[in-house]
Amino acid sequence: MLLSLKAIATPFIISVCILGVGLIQFPQLQKIINSKQSASLETLEKEIQSENIRLNFLKRMPTFGYNNFIADLVYLNFLQYFGDDEVRDKTGYSLSPEYFEIILERDPRFLAAYRGLSISTSLYAAMPERAIALSEKGLKLLSPSVPEKSYYIWRYKGVDELLFLGNAQAAQQSFATAANWASNFSDSESQMIAHSSQKTAEFLGRNPNSKYAQISTWSMVLSNQVDERTQKRAIREIEALGGKVITTTEGTHKILFPPKD
């Protein structure tokens, strides 16, 4: 009887402990948000240092099999961190890859996390090498069918390689792999991704400095349901490359390419 009670109680106690450890992060982040209007830069930086200590603890903490739970919790923490524009304008986005190191280590199949990784770490934190390294580590554990639509991860990686590292050769390989993985499926979305990824890879193969390829890649960023600042950045980059962005009455974007590549 005692053994039976122990067997029941142990998982419950572990769950409560993990929940408690995770939840202590929320008050800290909320404190930053609530005090952002009056806090000095020095105070905000101390809060960020404290958050970094907590993230380092989570990296080392055993999960007792609750990997997905921890990944989801840290992802929610990240969304709160990333979405606080006023504080981020003062302190930057340097913690972004720290969140995703935990998230993808716990759940490398977390598809949405790879998009967040690319935008937050490459575009905002200016650490594309770190984003690519984390993506590559996760991709070693994935396949064309696990998770569903995993070919998008290769596209995010190709975006980082081309736009933020200027490594056209690596980007070409990433887009070609995305096309290969997507071609395994017959649905319209997968076939569209296979076609566009293959076209981008071909552009880069013919001309590593292809404006068409760069415009197409910024168009991918623009179409990824990103925040307003990222949209404006993508539109500026497309126009600088000679393209034009037209916003339709439905709120979608149509891209006009320059006459010559």
Kindly tell me if the per-residue pLDDT of 7 is higher than 70. Answer: no
For range 236-254, the mean pLDDT: 91
Q: For residue 8, what pLDDT band results from cuts at 50, 70 and 90?
A: very low
pLDDT greater than 50 at residue 1: no
User: For 16-67, how does the pLDDT look when each residue is reduced to its tens digit (9 = 90+)?
Assistant: 444 454 544 555 555 555 555 557 888 889 999 999 999 999 999 998 899 9
Q: Which of 10-19, 45-54, 154-163, 249-258 has the lowest mean pLDDT?
A: 10-19
Task: Please report the sign of the dihedral spanned by the C-alpha atoms of residue 230, residue 163, residue 111, residue 202.
Answer: positive
Residue 15 has pLDDT above 80, yes or no: no
- pLDDT digit string (tens) for 68-109? 999 999 999 999 999 999 899 999 999 999 999 999 999 999
pLDDT tens per residue across span 199-237: 999 999 999 999 999 999 999 998 887 788 889 999 999
